[in-house]
């Protein structure tokens, strides 16, 4: 071995010849092996990290549009259901029976979808207005989630083969409705009470501004200020009464009609306080 040109490279010189095949040669990764696509998989994983979580979330307006669309679909299927039901009552043939079964199955599905879409819109509106800032709002929000999941999971609805099966499925669905409606009213009242609270805050900020700028109000101004504070206090009481009534809405009965009237009154008193404050600011 006198010639330098044929000498093995330095690394190979250190490894004994017997060990050359102790380490298996690199596997031949074909296009069909996962490892072949590792770069792409890593890239997809990184993209998934950057992908916004709410990319599929729909806006409240979109949900409202979907709800209106479902209402239209329900109305159409309801008309078909009543027509086929009447036809079957009149003629009682096999054809009218099949038609009645199909159309009733269809209306049950549409009714369920309409109600689920309504609750989805209601949930989105609740989140928009309240930001789910307190315990009671969170409870209502989670109850809405649970109710929507339940309705979405009713895959057997609309698969009845005969009148008895259909009636049974419909009855089961309808039995749940009163509790669900109670939840919907509680949500509506939460939204309304929070909206009034936001308007009240705007009035209170203006009132605080006025009081800061008028260190020593006149006797007349003081009387008006007392009136305004009294009205704002009433608004708070009316709002809190409403919220207290729906706090435990599942177990305690409440009249949505009465509570909405409370909030109407709160709105009127708030408007009155704002008008009085506007008068004070103008005559300053």
Which residues sit at the interface with other proteins, rule CB under 8 A? 30-31, 39-40, 43-44, 47, 51-52, 55, 59, 64, 67, 71, 74, 78, 81, 85, 88-89, 97, 100-101, 104, 107-108, 111, 114-115, 118, 121-122, 125, 162-164, 166-167, 170-171, 174, 177, 181, 184, 187-188, 191-192, 195-196, 199, 202-203, 206, 260, 263-264, 266-267, 270-271, 274-275, 277-278, 281
Estimate to the nearest angstrom the gap between the alpha carbon of 148 and the chain centroid: 9
Tell me how far, at minimum, the Cβ of 135 lies from other proteins, in Å.
Answer: 22
Location of structure tokens 């039995």 = 175
Residue partners of 151: CB distance under 8 A and separation at least 6: 112, 115, 116, 119
d(CA 224, CA 220): 6
Tell me how far, at minimum, the Cβ of 46 lies from other proteins, in Å.
Answer: 10
**Phi then psi dihedrals of residue 162, to 5 deg:** -145, 175
Tell me how far, at minimum, the Cβ of 144 lies from other proteins, in Å.
Answer: 12
**Of 12 and 68, which CB lies nearer to other proteins in the complex structure?**
68
For residue 273 the two structure tokens come to: 């306080």
**Of 47 and 133, which CB lies nearer to other proteins in the complex structure?**
47
Which DSSP symbol is given to 58? P
Tell me how far, at minimum, the Cβ of 235 lies from other proteins, in Å.
Answer: 10
Location of structure tokens 């008068």 = 279
Tell me how far, at minimum, the Cβ of 162 lies from other proteins, in Å.
Answer: 7
Contact between residue 88 and residue 100 where contact means Cβ atoms under 8 Å apart:
yes
Contact between residue 203 and residue 241 where contact means Cβ atoms under 8 Å apart:
no
**What stretch of H or E contains 206?**
helix 163-213
**Nearest CA among 118, 250, 130 for reference residue 192:** 130
Tell me how far, at minimum, the Cβ of 27 lies from other proteins, in Å.
Answer: 16
When computed from its CA atoms, the radius of gyration of the chain, rounded to whole angstroms, is: 34
Location of structure tokens 């916004």 = 52
Tell me how far, at minimum, the Cβ of 2 lies from other proteins, in Å.
Answer: 44
**Of 104 and 139, which CB lies nearer to other proteins in the complex structure?**
104
For residue 184 the two structure tokens come to: 């919907």
**Of 15 and 44, which CB lies nearer to other proteins in the complex structure?**
44
**Of 89 and 131, which CB lies nearer to other proteins in the complex structure?**
89
**Of 35 and 51, which CB lies nearer to other proteins in the complex structure?**
51
**Of 15 and 59, which CB lies nearer to other proteins in the complex structure?**
59
Indicate the Cα dihedral angle 104, 110, 115, 118, nearest 10°: -160
Tell me how far, at minimum, the Cβ of 137 lies from other proteins, in Å.
Answer: 15
Torsion region of 131: left, alpha or beta (phi above 0 gives left; psi -120 to 50 gives alpha): left
């Amino acid at each position: 071995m006198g010639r330098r040109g044929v000498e093995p490279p330095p690394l190979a010189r250190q490894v004994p010849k017997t060990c050359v095949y102790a380490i298996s040669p690199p596997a031949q990764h074909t296009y069909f092996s996962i490892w072949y696509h590792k770069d792409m998989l890593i890239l997809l994983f990184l993209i998934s990290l950057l992908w916004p979580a709410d990319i599929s979330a729909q806006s409240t307006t979109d949900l409202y549009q979907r709800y209106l669309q479902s209402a239209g679909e329900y109305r159409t299927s309801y008309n078909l259901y009543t027509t086929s039901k009447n036809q079957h009552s009149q003629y009682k043939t096999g054809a009218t029976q099949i038609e009645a079964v199909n159309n009733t199955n269809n209306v049950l599905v549409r009714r369920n979808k309409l109600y689920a879409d309504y609750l989805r819109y209601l949930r989105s509106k609740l989140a928009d207005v309240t930001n789910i800032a307190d315990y009671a709002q969170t409870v209502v929000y989670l109850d809405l989630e649970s109710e929507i999941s339940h309705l979405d999971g009713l895959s057997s609805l609309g698969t009845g083969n005969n009148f008895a099966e259909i009636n049974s499925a419909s009855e089961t669905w309808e039995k749940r409705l009163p509790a669900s409606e109670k939840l919907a009213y509680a949500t509506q009242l939460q939204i309304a009470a929070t909206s009034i609270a936001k308007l009240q805050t705007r009035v209170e900020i203006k009132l605080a501004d006025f009081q800061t700028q008028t260190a020593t109000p006149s006797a007349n101004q003081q009387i008006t200020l007392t009136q305004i504070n009294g009205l704002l206090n009433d608004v708070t009481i009316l709002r809190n009464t409403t919220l207290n009534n729906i706090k435990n809405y599942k177990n305690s009965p409440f009249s949505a009609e009465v509570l909405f009237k409370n909030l109407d009154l709160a709105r009127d008193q708030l408007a009155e306080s704002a008008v009085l404050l506007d008068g004070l600011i103008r005559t300053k």
